[in-house]
A and B are shown apart, each in its own frame.
Chain A
Amino acid sequence: MNFNEFAAYAYFFLIMFLVIGTYSYIYHLYKNRKDVTGVDYEDYSNMALKDDIDDAPVKSMSDDKEK
């Protein structure tokens, strides 16, 4: 296999990999709706909307420590 042939295969499989990867990620996001910690992805918008220093964080660092 010369370099060009190799590059063509590599290119093809890279694209396949990226396409499959992307679509699985989309599927994963929309199927689960929530991430592993149980927070709905859409709630993360509140990080910007409720961002005063004394607003409650969407997911607090200190929660972790209490566990």
Chain B
Amino acid sequence: MENRPLEYDYTVAKMFMLTTIVLGIVGMTIGVFIAFELAFPGLNTILGSGLAEYTNFSRLRPLHTDSVAFGFTVSGIFATWFYVGQRVLKVSMAESKFLMFVGKLQFWLYVIGVAAAVVTLFMGYTTSKEYAEFEWPIDIAIVIVWVLWGVSIFGLIGIRREKSLYISIWYYIATFLGVAMLYLFNNMEVPTMLATSPAGETNIGDWLHSISMYAGTNDALVQWWYGHNAVAFVFTVPIVAMIYYFLPKESGQAIYSYKLSLLSFWGLMFVYLWAGGHHLLFSTVPDWMQTMGSVFSVVLILPSWGSAINMLLTMKGEWQQVAASPLIKFMILASTFYMFSTLEGPIQAIKSVNAIAHFTDWIVGHVHDGTLGWVGFMIIAALYHMAPRVFKRELYSKSLMAAQFWIQTLGIVLYFTSMWIAGITQGMMWRAHDEFGNLAYSFIDTVDVLHPYYALRGTGGLLYLVGFFMFAYNIYKTMTAGRRVEESELQNASPMGA
């Protein structure tokens, strides 16, 4: 047999790149649709009142959140892991048949899990816990997928050539451990079939429907310890892993300060876990816990900005690259939005601010400057960087990429500015009262006032979605029609066609 030189094997990375794009399209299309439902309620019954069960806002909302979080984002995490992991550990998946098998198994189980999740959510099966809506059989499938991913991570580390673990690997490991712990504890649930009514009847429940093992305030606490850290370990930690690899690599610049990256890592790990209380301010959880949540949220600025500034300073003296390369623009804007949402978050966590912000659209604005600007842009940039390397072809079109960048940036700006105004208006109107303490407005008054902002948000979201389609098209053309490139062209800046 011919003795071929060893190469990195991107089979599994490619598979997850595909699901990143497909699930991104699914999730964001639903997002745009529900955004317009809020602006134009008639859309809730667009297929007639007979089918309204499947088209209304409340049925579709979890499909949006779960497909962007556990579909788009988690696929992006897996895709980049199977790329970055091999490279910084300097070991190829082709060297281990076992790891190759585990990786593919993980992919197919994941696809089955996603399909089951989509179908059951559409049918209305839900545990009603935000970001943990899946019923127990799907939870079990997810746990297996996660364990397989763990086998991949530690398996690859076990056969590595590079002794030290690059900072991104630390972040991937933290993602793995963090989500494993959170997911297991928050999803402890019992099928209602096993329940007995106060009157002693049995067999009145359903095998597929379950309820949480915790009740009341305890349930709320566990839920938001989970919910908050899902933000930490799905929308922050793995995305930091990505930027620490892709930005230095694409720009050819060493990380501004590797020491700072180590420090920020431990800072983030220690602080994040304690900040979940800020989701439960003014609720029934103990007061000291709420205060602790607020305090840790403010402290959280430090490690967050530590990473973000480290990234911006990596470009020190190299800012012409930001102007020249749309790919680097995506990453610089991503870290800027990261700074932005990690400043906004702590402000919203201050009790007096939260009194106005909670339950309003300002929170939704915060969510989306984080997810669209930081998570979305970083994953898009990562895939753009990977595409020429995994397909051995030049990126199809630089100008298309630049156009996408500006369209999506405009979309994000429309999204969060409209939600700020909407949120603060809402917060102020809800609490306005006359001298006798009678509320000045009823709920429907706020709905009336907010209509234009909802329409604007829908438009912003639509622009972002259009940009995402441009991204999908660009990657597809790269795969099928891009000019073939040599290894030597792939050192740093990605090759791009006009």
Contact = CB atoms under 8 A, between A and B. Distances in A.
B160 A61 contact: yes
Interface string A24-58: 01100110000000010111111111011111011
A42 B292 contact: no
Contacts of B257: 42
Most buried by A among B6, B259, B263, B292: B259
B160 to A, nearest CB: 6
Contact of A57 (B162, B288, B292): B162
A29 B262 contact: yes
Interface residues of A, number: 32
A47 B88 contact: yes
B80 interface: no
Given A45-B255, A48-B88, A53-B6, A25 B164 contact: no
Contacts of A60: 161-163
Contacts of B168: 48
Nearest to B263: A26
B167 to A, nearest CB: 7
Given A4-B288, A61-B163, A48 B262 contact: no
B288 A7 contact: yes
A11 interface: yes
A53 B7 contact: yes
B164 A48 contact: no
B249 interface: yes
Contacts of B125: none
Interface residues of B, number: 34
B259 A30 contact: yes
Contacts of B292: 11
A66 interface: no
B267 interface: yes
B98 interface: no
Contacts of A45: 248, 254-255, 258
A44 B8 CA distance: 21
A30 to B, nearest CB: 7
Contacts of B262: 29, 41
A44 B288 contact: no
Contact of B166 (A18, A48, A62, A63): A48
Contacts of A43: 258
Contacts of B288: 4, 7
A66 to B, nearest CB: 13
Contacts of A18: 270
13 contacts: A4-B288, A22-B267, A42-B257, A42-B258, A45-B254, A48-B249, A51-B88, A51-B90, A51-B249, A53-B90, A55-B90, A58-B164, A61-B162
Query: Which 8 A-B pairs rank lowest in CB-CB distance, beginning with the nearest?
Result: A45-B254, A57-B162, A51-B87, A47-B166, A59-B163, A29-B259, A45-B255, A41-B258
